[in-house]
Amino acid sequence: MYKPLTIEEIIKVTAGKLAGNVTGTFHLFSTDTRTIQKDDIFVPLTGPNFDGHNYINEAFTKGAKLTLAHVGKSITASGNPVLYVDDTLEAYGKIARYYLEKFSSKVIAVTGSVGKTTIKEMIVAILKARFDVEATYKNYNNRIGVPQTILSLSSEPDFIVLEMGTNTKGEIQSLVEIAPPHYSLITTIGSAHLAGFHTINEIVKEKSHIYYGTRKEGYAFVNLDDPRVVEASTEAACKKIFYSVKHHEAPFQLNSFSQNGTGWKIDARLKAENLYFKLPLLGYHNIINALGAMAVSYVAGAKASDIKSALEHFKSPHMRGELLVFKRGTVFCDCYNANPESTKAALDSFKSLLKGAPGLVILGDMLELGSSSRQLHEEIGEYASALDFAHTLLIGNEMKYAYRVLKDNAKTVDYVRSYEEAKIVLEKIIPNYSSVLLKGSRGMRLERIIDDFYKE
């Protein structure tokens, strides 16, 4: 922590009640006793299957100076100081918001159903050319991860780039209350996390909070090519800046683009300035990601030369559209997560990579789709069928719905319920293909295929 907090500040911002005595300042907070350090404040969180309050004594044994705790919780602290608050997670967020107000840093917030980690990393890469930038670590983008990013700041950066995710109602609103953005962007709005929202309209409403929570003097960056994103921006009080591949009235747009091997040749317009560069990423969706990142970065103060240099050297985040070359073949690894939109994008990207050669598509379940899961998996089956891949392997309980569509229309398709069954099939078919796509939700852990069949 760059600017230590006093116990008096922490009590005030949380409206907590202190039991016991503690003095001095605090440099770090921890929600996990496995990583706790001397003089940390321990923040015990609770969930359906865990209760951090059970680890308070362990936290003190490892050197914690103070712990938070829910009011009314019966805990054993062995005489150590406890700050009782109404809710430890909310208190964690309030402390982070208070701490952020000590900084003059500008906050850039990114959300969306697809591509938010990629755009976040693009923005960071561009701005780092001339600014001090901190960002969300990996995809720590929830009500725990965002405060953790803020409270871990070791300097006062020019920009803090925060990824904001959600799978429950009200989460985006909570996150923008913790870190009100100066710049905000929604990549796209699709069917991700339907289990928590039930309808697309509910997802639009949830995502819209990132625009509504943007500071009035700030900027909301709106993807004109996604009608749901446009809808989400309708009542934003800040200035709106549009970017588009299709609409030429947008101040940030593409004059032209064409596929170039495993990437794209792009001619972009940044307001009145033209920029030509090569983007080394597969997929049409990454053109839109790049354009959004360009718009945010340019308005934030980046130069066209910064954008060109950063994007021409940009590498996909781990397991998010990575092109991995092994002796046994090439793997297009896009298996960090999956929803219908990202799965279709991965299928399109892989098809363009093949250039008519035979390829093996391996799809795992798309999770968290609730009652729409069957229909959406059937749609993926239809989509994959139309692309006419040489061989498709479907893995998981939900992929049976895609299989029922594909089995009568695909050239060759196999279906298994588990990874162990998949390994038996893959032993036979992987040697036949030099190009393979891996796409599935995080819970499917399809990257195991790389470890088991490609690494030497």
Same structural domain, 172 and 257: yes
Domain boundary among 87, 117, 151: 87
Q: Same structural domain for residues 125 and 73?
A: no
Q: Is residue 93 part of a domain?
A: no
Give dist(CA 251, CA 244) in Å, integer.
8
Same domain, 146 and 295: yes
Distance separating alpha carbons of residues 456 and 452, to the nearest angstrom: 9
97 within domain boundaries: no
Q: How confident is the model at residue 196 (pLDDT cuts 50, 70, 90)?
A: confident
Question: Is there a domain that residue 301 lies in?
Answer: yes
Structural domain span for residue 449: 322-453
Do 116 and 232 belong to one domain? yes
DSSP 146: H
Which H/E stretch holds residue 424?
Answer: helix 419-429
Q: Is residue 98 part of a domain?
A: no
Q: Is residue 45 part of a domain?
A: yes
Give the residue-averaged pLDDT of 274-292.
95
Q: Which of 402, 336, 413, 375 is nearest to 163 (CA)?
A: 336
pLDDT tens digit sequence for 228-278: 999 999 999 999 999 999 988 899 999 999 998 889 999 999 999 999 999
- Find out whether 163 and 139 touch, Cβ atoms under 8 Å: yes
- Whether 195 maps to a domain, the answer reads yes
Choose the final residue of a domain: 282, 312, 342. 312
The verdict on residue 94 lying in a domain is no
| Residue 78 confidence (pLDDT) | 82
The pLDDT of residue 138 is above 90:
no
Tell whether 139 and 66 lie within a shared domain: no
pLDDT(192) > 80: no
The answer on 408 and 353 residing in a single domain is: yes
Contact between residue 221 and residue 393 where contact means Cβ atoms under 8 Å apart: no
| Per-residue pLDDT tens digits for 36-84 | 999 999 999 998 888 999 999 999 999 999 999 999 888 877 889 999 9
What does residue 221 show for φ and ψ, rounded to 5 degrees? -100, 120
Token readout for 77 is 């602290």
- Residue at which a domain ends, from 53, 87, 121: 87
Whether 291 and 416 map to the same domain: the answer is no
Tell me how many domains the chain contains: 3
Q: Which residues are paired to 273 by β-bridges?
A: 270
Shared domain for 221 and 272, answered yes or no, is yes
CB 100 within 8 A of CB 115: no
- Domain with residue 69: its CATH number is 3.40.1390.10
Distance between CA atoms of residues 8 and 26, nearest Å:
11
CB-neighbour burial class of residue 259 (10 A; exposed 0-12, middle 13-18, buried 19+): middle
The domain spanning residue 307 has which CATH number? 3.40.1190.10
For range 180-205, the mean pLDDT: 87
Q: Are residues 120 and 43 in the same domain?
A: no
* Residues in contact with 183: Cβ distance below 8 Å, sequence separation at least 6, in sequence order: 106, 107, 108, 109, 214, 218, 219, 221, 296, 299, 300
pLDDT score, position 193: 65
**Phi/psi at 336 (nearest 5 deg)?**
-70, -35
> Which percentage of the chain shows pLDDT scores above 90?
87
CATH code at position 328: 3.90.190.20
Give a yes or no: residue 92 inside a domain: no
**33 and 59 together in one domain:** yes
Q: What is the mean pLDDT of the chain?
A: 94
As a whole number of Å, the end-to-end CA separation of the chain is: 42
Q: Does 335 lie in the same domain as 194?
A: no
Which residue carries 């780092």 as its tokens? 128
Q: State how far the Cα of 421 lies from the Cα of 115, in Å rounded to an integer.
A: 31
Whether residue 350 is found in the same domain as residue 294: no
**Cβ distance 235 to 300 under 8 Å?**
no
